[in-house]
Chain A
């Protein structure tokens, strides 16, 4: 199902020729099945809209006013809407969203205002849904959503579960890594997990394939870093916290989790406690703002 060509040869006001010629048709081409199934012009601005005054200072309070040229307010809103939904759906999989994918699947020929769109989408995500759009690492051009609402135990029952039991395993591994000085060998991880009845080679009732979960899924989701230790024989790997972990939780939170498991107090581990405190102080310092892409 092809997209109806939007804005082609449409004189929705002044100077659209600048945009048309610079964008051409190519930006539209790479859209894949997402767009194929979602021709966003079905009820959209397509043919029925007509040239509307492109005054960005429209009646709509909900959008700030990027100076955009000939696109109508409604077209912009639709584009922001697509972007918001794309980010929400992609983030459900917990896989960081690449800027290139955003450009390819959603932004298309609006790429001249990419960072404005992203800012608007981020604002909506925060205000409407309570998610903060953040870049995984500075200049990485990948993004994740952080939930600004605290997880609450009862959510799980109201949610009827699709929630992840694997989070428990992740927390254990994160705890292990931190307590061992922020780096741990894979062999040590399995030594520990074996005591809990979790084995790299055996299917687990709750976690399925623990080896795949820890060495592949959590790594892909950027919760863990997994690196080969050179010159080891047999080959060994080491684990560290991944960038998502630092964004979603903190050393103090993980220390508290470990303490709780042992029925002790975080201060019972003075070295780790100091480290966690220093980390908290760092976080309290004002951060560079916004998700706006770093280029």
Chain B
């Protein structure tokens, strides 16, 4: 029986305002979520103690359960920052995008998604995506227009752009992981450590297993001689640093190893 053991929580205006604001953003980093939570308490219940974020969110999720949606926590693939988004548990989803974008725009996204999933690095080049505009469903789209649509996706946090290449935003991964795994079961890559969908990451050159950068960071932390968890071969890549919310800076890879940075995305 689904979740009947879990006692259903109670919604107050604090929780409602929080939910409304989260929905407006689409996706939020943890520190912003915490700030938002405090703001909601301030507006509605000044004197109450602010719940621990995890409990606060679990409470809301127990109410959302009957609607088959939940506030999901994820981690950005590039630097391990925790993020939150409201995701659909039941329907698969390009549906949330479907109301904001036209048919040909959605199809462009789908094409970009496929290129990203099929790629070795998790990135699809702008050129390759734009070359597919003739194959789009719906109204004919010119390349110039397609470039703008891609920018719209970036602004709406569905895609990230780096040096002319596109990959999935953490939000898209959170929202669409299930859809992607079901739709492209042969092409998807999975992280050897956390078993979640993997778009960007490092891979073992010998046996091919893959790991997210934050998973690599955690797994090999303080390990002087990192070895592949699967085949035990020497792990050939630079180990990134674990994201530390206290320091609130991006985990770095020392500059002297910029060359191996490129080899990450082979």
Contacts and interface: CB of A to CB of B under 8 A. Distances in A.
A39 B99 CA distance: 15
A179 interface: no
B93 A37 contact: yes
Interface residues of A, number: 42
Interface string A124-139: 1001111000000000
B66 A130 contact: no
Contact of A90 (B17, B21, B99): B99
Interface stretch (A149-157, A236-244, A249-257, A262-270): A149-157
A90 B14 CA distance: 24
Contacts, number: 109
B67 A159 contact: no
A1 B94 CA distance: 12
Given A38-B93, A81-B67, A159-B24, A129 B16 contact: yes
With most chain A CB atoms within 10 A of its CB, the pick from B13, B24, B42, B182 is B24
Contacts of A147: 20
A38 B4 CA distance: 26
- Give the size category of B's interface with A: 35 or more
B154 interface: no
B11 interface: yes
A159 B24 CA distance: 7
Contacts of A282: none
Interface string A43-65: 11000000000000001111100
A56 to B, nearest CB: 14
Contact of A128 (B4, B11, B91): B11
B184 to A, nearest CB: 12
Contact of B67 (A1, A80, A130): A80
A77 B43 CA distance: 32
Contact of A158 (B4, B35, B69): B35
B88 interface: yes
A85 B88 contact: yes
A80 B69 CA distance: 12
Interface string A23-49: 000000000011001111011100000
A217 interface: no
B93 A81 contact: no
Interface string B19-39: 111011100000000011001
B92 interface: yes
Interface of A: 1, 33-34, 37-40, 42-44, 59-63, 74, 77-78, 80-82, 84-85, 88-90, 92-93, 124, 127-130, 147, 149, 152, 154-155, 158-160, 162
